[in-house]
Amino acid sequence: MTDKGILIVVSGFSGAGKGTLMRKLLETYDNYALSVSMTTRKPREGERHGVEYFFASKEEFEKKIAEDKLIEYACYCDNYYGTPREYVEEQLEAGKDVILEIEIQGALKIKERFPDSLLLFVTPPNAKELERRLVGRGTETPEVIAKRLSRASEESEGIEAYDYIVVNDDLEECVKQLHSIVINAHYAPNRCAEFINQIREELKEFSKGAN
């Protein structure tokens, strides 16, 4: 329906499976582009610059802020995270639905600046499953897991700010649901101004002709 892409914000509890979900979504459908965030946190094992994140120093990051080259940024666990503007705007213009995987502070800023953005919150079917997944990763210390669960509890207070909840129980089903939410979102009137105006003009002409 719309020619322009939708700016999609995907948030969710750490351990909800956002990463796998995004990977699968991008593999399966070709209407998406994934925005790569910039961060000042250290790369984890296996993370590559420009793929998982653009890694930057605090000074570099603050220069980007000063030059208004980030559409949002936030501080989380003592590190900056932000979204470079240029790539997002290029992809939206090209008709791609652009996914930002960011946490709630950033999501709210995006909604404020881009009211037509679509906010999705990914959650496992229940908290027990979230804990199981965090423990199952085997990469985090008990302190980190405790911190993430406590963080999840805080984050859950913000769910109402999102447009849809995406329950990640079965991966395949979840990818399909997410995709159908995005496809449908193209048919919300605020994203179809061109179509609406055209049909209005045509109807005006026809009812003139008919009278």
The torsion angles phi and psi of 99, rounded to 5 degrees, stand at -100, 125
The binding track of 89-128 with respect to its own copies, each residue x by CB under 8 A or -, is --------------------------------x-x--xxx
| Cα 3 to the center of its chain, rounded Å | 20
Q: How many CA atoms lie within 13 A of 194 on its CB side?
A: 6
Angle between helices 171-185 and 18-28 (to 10 degrees): 70
Minimum CB distance to its own copies smaller for 48 or for 207: 207
Give yes or no for a contact between 6 and 191, defined as CB atoms under 8 angstroms apart. yes
User: CA 131, 132, 134, 135: dihedral to nearest 10 degrees?
Assistant: 110
Q: Does 163 bind its own copies (CB under 8 A)?
A: yes
Q: To the nearest whole angstrom, how small is the minimum distance from the Cβ of residue 1 to its own copies?
A: 7
Q: Does 139 bind its own copies (CB under 8 A)?
A: no
Residues that contact its own copies, how many (by CB under 8 A): 48
Q: Does 28 bind its own copies (CB under 8 A)?
A: no
Give residues 188-207 in contact with its own copies (rule: CB under 8 A). 188-190, 192, 195-196, 198-200, 202-207
Rounded to whole angstroms, how far apart are CA atoms 164 and 37? 22
Instruction: Extract the tokens encoding 153.
Output: 């509890």
Give the residues lining the site for its own copies (CB under 8 A). Answer: 1, 121, 123, 126-128, 130-131, 142, 145-146, 149-150, 152-153, 156-157, 159-160, 162-167, 177, 180-181, 183-184, 187-190, 192, 195-196, 198-200, 202-207, 210-211
